A and B are shown apart, each in its own frame.
Chain A
Amino acid sequence: MLSRLREPWTDGQAERRLGAVACLVLLIIVLMVVFVAVRAWPSLHANGFVSWLGPGGNVDVQLGEMIKTGQHPPDSAYHLRAWPLVYGTLLTTGVSVIIGLTFALFSAIFIVEFAPARVRSVVVPAVRLLAAVPSVVYGLIGILVLVPAVGNHLISPGRKESVQNVVQLDGTGVLVAIVVLTVMITPIMVAIITDALRAIPTAWTEGASALGANRWEAMWTVSVRAARPAIVAAAVLACARALGEAVALSMVSGSRGFSPNPLDGLTYIFEPIRPLAASMVENVDAMNAPAVRSSIYAFALLLLLSSLVLSIGGYFAKLPMRRQGLRV
């Protein structure tokens, strides 16, 4: 059979065989989603889909109660209102992606256009290295350097006392979580956008220069505009990564299912939160209890569905660019 594979393939054969491999990949992914959905069903069913996402009570206490239930818990044991976790996820992911995208775009333009060759030979490996640092190391640097710096120097005792009966401000919280997450997702975006900017035919930018544009204008109005599909793809990939980041965030985000109140002013950025993925990793030890297991799988299902929505959103964002002749 192997020898038959070595003969030249016809187009029809090639399409079928390649398509089969792609479908295999899709099948594994669908299997995973179905697996998660089946295990999440009890929690979603007991709470109702919409109110599961809503606010109501302290989510930490609710999870703690679930651990005490036995192997066959009643429906009331599944009670959960996950809004604080959802809010924390939206906050960290949204802000990190916005800041990271700006940062990544300027870095990519720097690498492609303005960096002298020697500087470039340092920056490109640096970006690849940043992308490969384990999340544990980011978490460690967060708790060893950033958290004490924020907790001891940026948070004044007065600020701590003003909220001491509601929540503790010890340095872990929104600010450090966003900083760490931004540093984690930026390298991926830099790498993808750099590749896209490099692939723009030089004839296009030379044409812009011939018309009198300076280097920045040529880059911005021609290359970056032409690389918009890649920028969207990079943003979607980075957003997905940010949603799924669990280990580092569980160490620096404060580990409390708390919804920071924007009306608190500057204290808002110091308040603790806990995104969905971090909640999963922290409660994975308690998965013996069926109620906890179902809730964790429900978090996972929510994250998977968000990635799906992101992916579809990215597709629609790239659609108008197709009209301008860019291949998406």
Chain B
Amino acid sequence: MSVASASAPAPAPTAPRPAPRGDRLSSWRWRHRLAFLACWACGIAVCAITAAIVIYMGVRGVQYLNLDLLLHRPQAGLAQSTTGGILDPIAGTVMLTIIGIAIATPLAVVAAVWLVEYGRPAPLARAVESGIEVVAGTPDIVIAIFGLAIFQLPLFAPLSFTASGGGVFGRSFLAAGAMMSLIALPLVFGATREGLLALPTHLREASWALGKTRICTIRTVLLPQVRRQIATGSALGMGRIVGDTAVVVVLLGATLQIEPQGNVPVLSTLRGTGSTLTTYVYGNSPAGEGNAPQKAYAAAFVLLLIVLALNAAVDFIGRRGKGSS
């Protein structure tokens, strides 16, 4: 019994447990049949809504989606034909997402591990947990304004640039990425914590009984088991980062093209300003100036494709370690 249940936690995502013999729908009560129908209805509704959103954005924008649009840089212009392509916003989105999730995931996993495995003193643990949930509920505009106030301090001048008037510009990929990590943090933290809490205590006890220290147990036994949950949390976090508008509008400098700052190859782009697909959609659709609505819808469609790709990548990474089970 104990051997069998050692493999019980975190079951592999295969087909659901096949219905036991004799469990035919016709033998169920009315209430249960209704619930069964409700579940199917909700599941199909989710697919239908997603399909509707993707198709709607696709129909509105796909005719404008050609290789030209993807490979050219955006220009300022009033009419749709003069506004160029979306190459820089695509690069901006990808860069910002990577920076944001790269900062958020280690912080969130460490915080979750500390909270679940150690968590002493208890009031401090409660404070950390509540603090992260407070961040989850902060409007992104507040995080953006906070970030702006912080990164415009002279202390952080190396992270953006200092203008001729002596003021620190305060807006760059690094600044936006740092604040984006705050936005993704609660999601990764929540998912990791749920995963760790779901692991049965006998896993830990067995490892301690073999003489491993607590931290070694965490590193070698627990973390590999919650890889899928971390992946889910990261996927949700990346989704939140990709979809965020306010932080980008306030903290990325709102230049149409990516403008590096300085001469060092990678650092100059990080210190520079740019735009992302969300600000492009926001600015060119009816939500903003509305100069290039079709291109905005095409950009939204590209954004959805990027999200699908990112999710697939995260799934792949999360599944790599579970190959054995």
Contacts and interface: CB of A to CB of B under 8 A. Distances in A.
Interface of A: 8-11, 14-15, 18-19, 21-26, 28-30, 32-33, 35-36, 103, 106-107, 109-117, 119-120, 122-123, 125-137, 139-141, 143-145, 183, 186-188, 190-192, 195-196, 198-203, 205-206, 209, 214-217, 220, 229-230, 233, 236-237, 239-241, 243-247, 251, 277, 280-281, 284, 300, 303-304, 306-308, 310-312, 314-315, 327-328
A65 B122 CA distance: 48
Contacts of B197: 229, 327-328
Q: Is the interface of A mostly helix, strand, loop or mixed?
A: helix
Contacts of B206: none
B294 interface: no
Contacts of A129: 50, 54, 239, 304, 307-308, 311
A188 B187 contact: yes
A27 to B, nearest CB: 9
A130 B142 contact: no
Contacts of A217: 32
Most A Cβ at <10 Å: residue of B128, B131, B218, B228: B131
Contact of A311 (B9, B133, B141, B242): B133
23 contacts: A15-B118, A22-B111, A25-B128, A26-B127, A26-B128, A117-B14, A130-B46, A136-B300, A143-B286, A145-B56, A195-B194, A196-B198, A201-B200, A214-B28, A215-B19, A216-B36, A233-B190, A240-B134, A241-B137, A300-B141, A300-B145, A311-B130, A327-B201
A140 B298 CA distance: 13
Q: Is the interface of B mostly helix, strand, loop or mixed?
A: helix
A315 B125 CA distance: 12
A186 B244 CA distance: 17
Contact of B195 (A30, A103, A195, A308): A195
B146 to A, nearest CB: 5
Contacts of B132: 25, 29
Contacts of B169: none
A309 B89 CA distance: 38
B146 A35 contact: yes
Interface string B132-166: 11111111111101100100000000000000000
B52 to A, nearest CB: 8
A106 B42 contact: yes
Contacts of A280: 139, 141-142
| Minimum-distance CB pairs A-B, first 4 | A307-B137, A132-B239, A240-B137, A199-B198
B211 interface: no
Contacts of A198: 10-11, 13
Contacts of A122: 47
Interface of B: 4-5, 8-11, 13-17, 19-20, 23, 27-28, 32, 35-36, 38-43, 45-47, 49-51, 53-54, 56-57, 107, 110-111, 113-115, 118, 120, 124, 126-143, 145-146, 149, 182, 185-187, 190-191, 194-195, 197-198, 200-201, 213-216, 218, 228-229, 232, 235-236, 238-240, 242-246, 278, 281-282, 285-287, 297, 300, 303-304, 307-308, 310-312
Contact of A192 (B35, B115, B191, B213): B191
Given A11-B214, A137-B57, A190-B46, A32 B246 contact: no
A134 B243 contact: yes
